[in-house]
């Protein structure tokens, strides 16, 4: 914001100086003047911004791009981050967690010891020091923290332990996008629990799960905790915490009946509607140029669910696999990889498909397949399906699994869809969109075994330490808040994460009476410990209102010649647009009460 403050009348200066001198327990002043405050707003949307949060964070002067996926955080963003940090620390410290700060630069040999240098691949940013030794910029810290524990924790008496940090990480994403939502450099809270046995580890996991529920509730989010895949972190069990938003990258499967919720990649299928068909003889049918399910179904006058899609997938660690699924469904790549005990599978290129199967794409057949075949569980029940023949322009009808082609494994490998029966209660599930902001993992002995982190037990024997890990992306969480809560005019901050809680707008800064009442109000707000931004710029009212909406502070208090003449000020709630006229003498107390209520009444 430009420093174009109006001339502050002499009798107002003392009031403002006192207001500006009052500080909170962290040493921050309760009041800031917008004139001279570094919040470089933009009138136009930035061309590179795809999501509303990215667009608004740039326009409102929260962030600025330095390089692809790397952003500088400006004062308003830092204030919001500090509030989130405080919420996180209070939740974790109250559960016995202890804060540490670990090096960002890590010896590559630790990653080689755990085997994750290969798992992360190019996302792990590697470098050499002047002596030629290999290092990596940490994307996460399981290896580092396990190395500390294996050196300094010897006995079961030293456990349980829960150590956490809030620190900058780096992952060399191939396509960073959406601003800080998917950046290469990011701030993360990562925590690690260490226990002497599985039951104790379950207690630690539950404590952190409950802490996360508290954290995101205190942030004012509408969110869901969902069963999830563990991905590159590893482990046996995990939950993601999703902020619900229409623009979310993740699809959630939710049952309104029993509350079952899972990431679509993880969601189980108890079964779903499909066409089994009546048993028929295997018949070769001419299907010229019919390579895709919808056109083939129309050509044969059969439902898409009776067509069996045959797709070749490449596994780095187990070779090619032919996967079969009803034509109206999509394959869940995560479940496919996990079910076969391999890494994330890749759909083969057309040239690979022809080379491995001898079949042209669109006509691949499981009949007589020479490679392993995996099929979705629904395929096993099909009495009459349509499959390729391996010959250009021809398909088989009447294909029956077991009779006409062999299947090595029947597995749950389909993506769940809206209306599918819930795996817990059988009622139809719904699909929702969400943004992942936190993830908790039961790691088991994945890292303690790889790095040989052992403790002595009461009977003198040794055992591997049982671990858990727990992450929250801070910048991503702030962005998700904006993604969930904004409108056409700008950000709509929830009170717990708002950089400031109230904005005071004196409209006629050259009028001593208006500025005097505004200064007195600001001092009263500071004394009430309300974090306040004073827009003391000598600008048109319309511009002030536009900037106030863009910045999105929860409560806007306007002081004008008209309102002062009546001894009042105008209070507007950013979230609802509700306008209330308040007596100037009691306005600060009313605002404090509204602030306190907003912090208490979370979703």
Q: Where are the domains of the chain?
A: 10-37+500-600, 76-268+429-481, 283-411
Name the packing angle between helices 52-59 and 474-484 (round to 10°): 100
Give the pLDDT confidence score for residue 363 in this predicted structure: 94
Topology adopted by domain 283-411: YbaK protein (3.90.960)
118 token code pair: 């290969």
Listed in sequence order, the residues at least 6 apart from 333 whose beta carbon sits closer than 8 Å to its beta carbon are: 265, 344, 345
Peptide bond into 160 cis (omega under 30): yes
In degrees rounded to 5, what are phi and psi of residue 384?
-155, 105
- From 333-342, 479-488, 516-525, 581-590, the region with the lowest mean pLDDT: 333-342
Taking residues 442-470, what's their average pLDDT?
96
User: Which percentage of the chain shows pLDDT scores above 70?
Assistant: 96
pLDDT in tens, 389-402: 999 999 999 999 99
pLDDT in tens, 517-541: 999 999 999 999 999 999 999 999 9
Taking residues 356-385, what's their average pLDDT?
94
151 token code pair: 């050196």
Torsion angle, alpha carbons of 99, 103, 107, 108, to 10: 80
User: Which percentage of the chain shows pLDDT scores above 90?
Assistant: 84
Give the pLDDT confidence score for residue 374 in this predicted structure: 97
pLDDT in tens, 25-68: 889 999 999 999 999 999 999 988 989 999 999 999 999 999 99
Asked if pLDDT for residue 213 goes beyond 50, the answer is yes
Give the pLDDT confidence score for residue 342 in this predicted structure: 62
Query: What homologous superfamily does CATH list for 10-37+500-600?
Result: Anticodon-binding domain (3.40.50.800)
Which sign, positive or negative, has the C-alpha torsion 319, 320, 322, 328?
A: positive
Within 10 angstroms of residue 576's Cβ, the number of other Cβ atoms is: 8
Asked if pLDDT for residue 317 goes beyond 80, the answer is no
SS3 of 309-320: the string is: EEEEEEECCCEE
pLDDT in tens, 117-156: 988 889 999 999 999 999 999 999 999 999 999 999 999 9
Residue 185 contacts residue 70 (beta carbons within 8 Å)? yes
Q: In what order do the strands lie in the sheet with 346-347?
A: 346-347, 308-315, 319-326, 373-376, 409-411
Give the pLDDT confidence score for residue 277 in this predicted structure: 76
pLDDT in tens, 397-422: 999 999 999 999 999 999 999 999 99
Would the CATH topology of 10-37+500-600 be identical to that of 283-411? no
Give the pLDDT confidence score for residue 233 in this predicted structure: 46
Residue 446 contacts residue 283 (beta carbons within 8 Å)? no
Asked if pLDDT for residue 192 goes beyond 60, the answer is yes
Taking residues 364-383, what's their average pLDDT?
95
Asked if pLDDT for residue 252 goes beyond 70, the answer is yes
Asked if pLDDT for residue 234 goes beyond 70, the answer is no
In degrees rounded to 5, what are phi and psi of residue 444?
65, -130
SS3 of 150-173: the string is: HHHCCEHHHCCEEEEEEEEEECCC
CA atoms of 185 and 169, how far apart (whole Å): 6
pTM score: 0.87
At the second CATH level, the architecture of 76-268+429-481 is 2-Layer Sandwich (3.30)
* Residue in 150, 154, 225, 242 with CA at minimum distance from that of residue 192: 150
Asked if pLDDT for residue 232 goes beyond 50, the answer is no
Banded pLDDT at 1 (limits 50, 70, 90): low
β-strands 223-227, 237-244 pairing:
antiparallel
CA distances to 142, 227, 337, 446, 452 from 476, rounded to whole Å, are 21, 20, 28, 27, 34
């Amino acid at each position: 914001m430009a420093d174009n403050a109006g001339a502050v009348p002499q009798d107002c200066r003392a009031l403002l100086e006192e207001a500006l001198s009052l500080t909170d327990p962290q040493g921050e002043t309760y009041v800031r003047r917008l004139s001279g405050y570094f919040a470089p707003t933009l009138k136009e949307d930035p061309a590179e911004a795809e999501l509303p949060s990215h667009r608004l964070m740039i326009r409102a002067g929260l962030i600025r791009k330095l390089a692809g996926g790397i952003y500088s955080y400006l004062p308003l963003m830092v204030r919001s981050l500090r509030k989130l940090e405080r919420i996180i620390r209070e939740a974790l410290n109250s559960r016995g967690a202890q804060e540490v700060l670990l090096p960002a630069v890590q010896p590559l040999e630790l990653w080689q010891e755990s085997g994750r240098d290969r798992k992360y691949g190019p996302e792990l940013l590697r470098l050499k020091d002047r002596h030629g030794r290999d290092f990596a910029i940490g994307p996460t810290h399981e290896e580092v923290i396990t190395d500390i524990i294996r050196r300094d924790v010897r006995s079961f008496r030293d456990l349980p332990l829960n150590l956490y940090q809030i620190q900058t990480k780096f992952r060399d994403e191939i396509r960073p996008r959406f601003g800080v939502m998917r950046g290469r450099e990011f701030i993360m809270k990562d925590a690690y629990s260490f226990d002497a046995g599985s039951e104790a580890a379950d207690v630690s996991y539950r404590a952190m799960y409950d802490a996360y529920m508290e954290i995101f509730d205190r942030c004012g989010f509408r969110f869901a905790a969902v069963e999830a895949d563990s991905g590159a972190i590893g482990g046996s069990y995990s939950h993601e915490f999703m902020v619900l938003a229409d623009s979310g990258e993740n699809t959630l499967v939710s049952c309104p009946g029993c509350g079952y919720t899972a990431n679509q990649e993880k969601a189980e299928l108890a079964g779903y509607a499909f066409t089994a068909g009546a048993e028929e003889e295997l018949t070769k049918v001419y299907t010229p140029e019919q390579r895709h399910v919808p056109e083939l179904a129309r050509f044969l006058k059969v439902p898409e669910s009776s067509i069996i899609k045959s797709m070749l997938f490449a596994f780095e660690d187990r070779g090619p696999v032919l996967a079969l699924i009803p034509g109206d469904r999509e394959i869940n790549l995560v479940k496919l990889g996990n079910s076969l005990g391999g890494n994330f599978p890749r759909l083969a290129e057309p040239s690979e498909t022809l080379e491995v199967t001898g079949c042209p794409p669109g006509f691949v057949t499981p009949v007589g397949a020479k490679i392993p075949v995996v099929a979705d569980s629904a395929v096993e029940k099909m009495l009459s399906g349509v499959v390729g023949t391996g010959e250009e322009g021809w398909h088989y009808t009447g294909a029956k699994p077991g009779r006409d082609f062999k299947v090595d494994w029947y597995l749950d490998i389909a993506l769940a869809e809206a209306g599918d029966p819930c795996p817990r209660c059988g009622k139809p599930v719904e699909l929702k969109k969400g943004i992942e902001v936190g993830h908790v993992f039961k790691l088991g002995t994945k890292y303690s075994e790889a790095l040989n982190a052992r403790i002595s037990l009461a009977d003198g024997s040794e055992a591997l330490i049982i671990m858990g890990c727990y992450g929250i992306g801070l910048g991503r969480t702030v962005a998700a808040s904006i993604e969930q809560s904004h409108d056409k005019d700008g950000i709509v901050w929830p009170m717990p994460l708002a950089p400031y809680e109230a904005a005071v707008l004196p409209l006629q800064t050259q009028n001593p009476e208006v500025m005097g009442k505004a200064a007195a109000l600001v001092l009263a707000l500071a004394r009430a410990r309300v974090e306040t931004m004073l827009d003391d710029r000598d600008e048109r009212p319309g511009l002030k209102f536009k900037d106030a909406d863009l910045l999105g502070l929860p409560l806007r208090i306007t002081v004008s010649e008209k309102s002062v003449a009546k001894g009042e000020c105008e209070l507007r709630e950013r979230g609802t647009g509700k306008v209330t006229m308040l007596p100037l003498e009691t306005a600060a107390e009313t605002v404090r009460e509204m602030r306190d209520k907003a912090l208490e009444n979370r979703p």
